[in-house]
Structures are given as C-alpha cells and as structure tokens.
Structure 1
Amino acid sequence: MIDIHKLKAFVAVVEESNISRAAVRLNMQQPPLTRMIKSLENELSTDLLKRLPRGVEVTEAGKALYQEALTILAHAQAIPKRVQNISMGLEGQINIGFTNSVGLHPFLPALLRNFREAFSAVSIQLEEDGSSSLIDSIINDKNDIVFLRKPAPIGFGLVSLHVLDEPLIVALPNNHPLANQTDAIHILDLETYDFVLYRRLAGQDLFDNILASCYQAGFSPKIVQEAPRLTSSLNLIAAGIGLSIVPASIRDFWNKQIVYKDLKAEIPSIAPIYAVYKHNDHNIRLAHVLNLLK
C-alpha cells in the first residue's frame, strides 16, 4: 500500500518541477523529501522523475501516478466531511414504506418533496407493500419508517405516530340509484347495494376499517368483488359492478364515470394514517423525517 504522505510529496515535486521548491511548499527539508521520492520509485520499481541540472521532469509512469494521486488525495480530503455529513444525517439513504392507499394521499409526496428540499444529498428508497410486510420490514430494520392505516401491533417495540385522519367517502358508478342524491349518503343507505372492496390481504387496514364502519352502522356489506389494489377497485366501480367506501383523497385521483359523495354515520367514518418506526437515537435521517411530520 502506497503511503499517502509519499503521494502528497510526489504531487508537490511534479507541480513545482523542483525538489527544493517542493520541500519549501511542504515545509520540510530537501534530503527527507528526496528519500521519500526514491522510496516511492523503489516500491513501484520504476523511475518517476528524470533528474535535470535545474529541477526534475516527470516520466510517463510518473504522469500516470500523478493523475491517480490527485484522485486519491481529493478523495482522502473529502472523507472527513462526508463522514461528518453522514453522522449529521445530511448524506446516506432513508428507506420509507407505505401501503397503496397511503401512497395516494397528497401528504406523502408533500413530505418527500420537503425532505428532498431540506436534505438533497440523502437518497430516498421507497417501498409499497401490505401493512403486515411493512411492519416486518421495520422489525427487521429494512425500512426506517412506514406509513399505515393503523398503529403498530403491541409487543414489538415499535412507535406509532398519528399523522392525520382522512374522511371516508362513497364512490358510486355514475348511473347508480344514489348518484343523483345531493346530500351526504347515510351509511345505512348502502346496506342493500353491492360492494367492491380493496382486497384485505393487500389493504388489510383499510378493508378492516371499512367493515368496522358498516358493522357499527348495523349491517355487513355485500361484497361482490375484491380488487388487488385500491386503484383497481375504481375500474370496477366505473364498470358498474358495485360501489365502495374509499378515502377522500381518491376523489382527486379518479373521477371518470364515478361519482363521489360524502358519507354520513353516527360514528364518523375515517381512515387514519400512522407513521410506524423503531425508536433509534442514532438514526438521524429518521429524526429529520419525524421533524417534518410535526
């Protein structure tokens, strides 16, 4: 391994074309500098400099070493700053997970935009998955933070931070009997109609939330079809297969052949969003995300 001090000395000699001037630049005596250059040539088994009556001239091998040395020295000089930046959370990578329905809410892109503006050197790795898989990803340290429709289960040492409550609304085919109703639709008025829902395995939290709203109103919804993704369910609604209860943010995402109505119930129907993470005082990038959520 080549000593970085020898590389620095060699660069000075090449740039000064004179060992005496290079010694002054390096604030050292000429004989030790001469020995360093000779040692470097011995290590590489080649002449790096041609000795001239009034200075030195770099050889072809020396030119190649000079270019490599500049790169190595620049990298070495940048290391302390980079290490410091990483320790302060200003560089590195943040891993963020979210369920499909959370990914459709405008709060998430706004959060990512604000984070990018504040910490432009931090890479953001995103993962969309079901809530169970995302919980596992936090437990196994694959993600730093995930956004779900329900808090984390108890007993895993995870922290759940309530971010917001999103109203649930009704999504209807535009030819549905309730589509022309001007007022909010009471949840009990949906009892006799066919439902299309986002599949439980993919969106367990939202699925359970919708069912709970129906059960609280006193009925079990008649589910005629489930969709693999929330956006897929909109295609089925637009096709007239059934209606659904969806987060209000969907209203701005899709309105072709679909009518959205406010939902009325004795117990307000909401779809909350929680940030779930593992408490870690050393994860500075996570702390930056949490600060943006405040």
Structure 2
Amino acid sequence: MIDIHKLKAFVAVVEESNISKAAQRLHMQQPPLTRLIQSLEQELNTALLKRLPRGVEVTEAGKALYQEAVTILAHASVIPQRVHNIAQGKEGQLNIGFTHSIGLHPFLPTLLRQFRENFPAVSIRLEEDSSSVLIDAVMNEKLDIAFVRKPASMQTQLQSTHVLDEPLVVALPSNHPLAEQSGNIQLKDLEPYEFVLYRRLGGQDLFDNILANCYQAGFSPNIVQEAPRLTSCLNLIAAGIGLSIVPISIQDIWNKQIVYRTLTAKKPNIAPIYAIYRSDENIRVRHVLELFATLHRPI
C-alpha cells in the first residue's frame, strides 16, 4: 500500500515541477523530500520523474500515478469530515416505518419535510406495514423507528414516545339517517347500525381501539364488512355498505359521498400515535425525536 504522505509529496513535486519549490510548499527540507520521491520510485520499481537542470519532468508512468494520486488524496481529504458527519447523524440512512392510517396523517409529511431540511444528506427509506410487522422490524434492526397506534410492550426492550392523539370521527354514507342530523353524534347512537371497519390484520391497533371505544359505550358493533385499507373502507362507506369510525385526518383527503361527524362519549375517542425505537437508538433517530419538541402539537 502506498503511503499517503509519499503521494502528497509526489503531487506537490509534479505540480511545482521543482523539488525545491515543492519542499517550500510542504514546509519541509529538500533532502527529505528527495528521499520520499526516491522511496516511491523504488516501491513502484519505475522512474516517475526526469531530473532536469532546472526542475523535473514527469514520466509517462509518473503522469498515470499523478492522476490516481490526485483522486486518492481528494477522497482521503473528505473522509474525516464524512466520518464526523456520520457520527453526528448528518449523513447515512434513516429507515422509517408507519402503519397505513398514520401514513394518511399530515404529521408524517410535516416531520419528514422538516427532517430533510435539517439533514439533507441523510437518505430516508420508508416502509408501510402492520404494527406487528413494523415492531418486529425495529427489534431486528431492519427499521430505525416506526410510528404505530400503541406503545411498545415493556417486555420488548423497545422505547416508546407519544407523538400525538388523533380524534376519531364517524364516517357516514351521505344518505345515512345520522348524516341528516347536525352537531355531534353520541357513540352509543351507532349501536343499531352496520359497521365497515379497517381489517384487524392490517390495522390491529386501530381496530382494537375502535372496538374498545364501542365496548366502553356499552355495545358491540355489528361489523358487516372489513376492508384491507382505510381508503378501501371509505369506498365501502360511500357505497352505503355501512358506517365506520375513522381517524379525523382521513376527512381531509376523502369526502366524496361521505359525511363526517364528531363523536362524543364519556371517554374521549382518540387514536394515539407513538414512535417506537430501540433503546440504543442511533443519532439520526434522536434527531427525529428532537423534532417532536420543536414542532407544535398537534402537528
């Protein structure tokens, strides 16, 4: 392996075309510089310079080495800064997971936009899946952080940070009897009607949250249809199949043939969002968590 110090010396000699001037540029004496060049030629077993009465001339082999040396030295010069940037979380990759319902909330693009503005050299990989798959991915270090609807189990050695609480609203077909009444709707008033819900397999936390709210209101919802995604759930509602309870953020992106009404009950109807990450979270995850403190809530 060629010594970087020797390459620097050689590049200086080539660019100055004079060993004395190169020595001055490198702040060293001429004899040690001459020995460095001779050592480099011996190491490569070839002449790199032609000694002239007033300077030196680069040989063909020397020109080839010069081109390579310039590239190597340029790359070497940025290594310390890049290593520092990685250590400070200013470069590298951040792997983020989120459930489908959270992907529809404006907090996520707001967070990602702010992160990109603060750390433009960090690449972001996004993954959407069910909460159980996302939590497993965080545990197995395939994801750095995931946004889900409930905190991580205390037994998983994962950390949880509460991000926000999103209100739940009732989504009704536009021709539904309850759609005609103004104002809030009591959760208990939904008991006689048929429900369409986001399938538990895809949105377990949200599904369980909705059922828990209904149970606390004193009834078990009559679920006639489950949909694989919230957006397909809304298609079924618009078709008049049934009503549903959905996060409030959904009403901003879908209002065709659907009426949204605020729900009231003894206990607030909310769907929380949590950030899940490993106890030994990396510096880039820490930057994400710090953004929670700077962005106004609800985001």
Whole-Å separation in 1 of the counterparts to 2:96 and 2:46: 52
Q: Secondary structure of the equivalent of 2:232?
A: helix
Q: CA deviation at 1:151?
A: 0.9
> What does residue 287 of structure 2 align with?
288
> What does residue 35 of structure 1 align with?
35
Q: CA deviation at 1:181?
A: 1.5
> What does residue 60 of structure 2 align with?
60
> What does residue 173 of structure 1 align with?
173
> What does residue 279 of structure 1 align with?
279
Alignment of 1:187-202 (within 5 A): 187-202=187-202
1:6 paired to 2:6:
yes
> What does residue 162 of structure 2 align with?
162
Q: Secondary structure of the equivalent of 2:274?
A: strand
Q: CA deviation at 1:266?
A: 2.2
Which amino acid in 2 is paired with 1:89?
G
Q: CA deviation at 1:76?
A: 1.3
Q: CA deviation at 1:284?
A: 1.8
Q: CA deviation at 1:232?
A: 1.6
Give a deviation string over 1:135-182, Cα, whole Å, max 9, x none: 112222222221111111121122222111111001112122222221
> What does residue 242 of structure 1 align with?
242
Whole-Å separation in 1 of the counterparts to 2:46 and 2:59: 10
Superposed structure 1 runs of 4+ greater than 6 Å apart: none
Q: Secondary structure of the equivalent of 2:263?
A: strand
Which amino acid in 2 is paired with 1:109?
P
CA RMSD of aligned residues (A): 1.6
> What does residue 262 of structure 1 align with?
262
Could you tell which deviates more after superposition, 125-134 or 61-70? 61-70
Whole-Å separation in 1 of the counterparts to 2:234 and 2:49: 74
Whole-Å separation in 1 of the counterparts to 2:119 and 2:272: 27
> Which structure 1 residue ranges, 5 or more long, are not aligned?
none
Percent identical? 75
Q: Secondary structure of the equivalent of 1:249?
A: helix
Whole-Å separation in 2 of the counterparts to 1:70 and 1:128: 44
Q: Secondary structure of the equivalent of 1:179?
A: helix
> What does residue 50 of structure 2 align with?
50
Give a deviation string over 1:78-123, Cα, whole Å, max 9, x none: 1112212222222222222111111111111111111111222222
Q: Secondary structure of the equivalent of 1:75?
A: helix
Alignment of 1:27-176 (within 5 A): 27-176=27-176
Q: CA deviation at 1:245?
A: 0.5
Could you tell which deviates more after superposition, 70-79 or 23-32? 23-32
TM-score (norm 1): 0.94
Which amino acid in 2 is paired with 1:81?
Q
Whole-Å separation in 2 of the counterparts to 1:258 and 1:127: 29
> What does residue 225 of structure 2 align with?
225
Q: Secondary structure of the equivalent of 2:6?
A: helix
Whole-Å separation in 2 of the counterparts to 1:216 and 1:195: 17
Q: Secondary structure of the equivalent of 2:180?
A: coil
Whole-Å separation in 2 of the counterparts to 1:21 and 1:50: 16
Q: Secondary structure of the equivalent of 1:160?
A: strand
Could you tell which deviates more after superposition, 8-17 or 213-222? 213-222
Which amino acid in 2 is paired with 1:26?
L
Give a deviation string over 1:6-32, Cα, whole Å, max 9, x none: 110110011001112112222223233
Q: Secondary structure of the equivalent of 1:97?
A: strand
Which amino acid in 2 is paired with 1:290?
L
Whole-Å separation in 2 of the counterparts to 1:61 and 1:220: 84
> What does residue 297 of structure 2 align with?
none
Give a deviation string over 1:197-241, Cα, whole Å, max 9, x none: 111011000000111111111221111211111122111212222
> What does residue 21 of structure 1 align with?
21
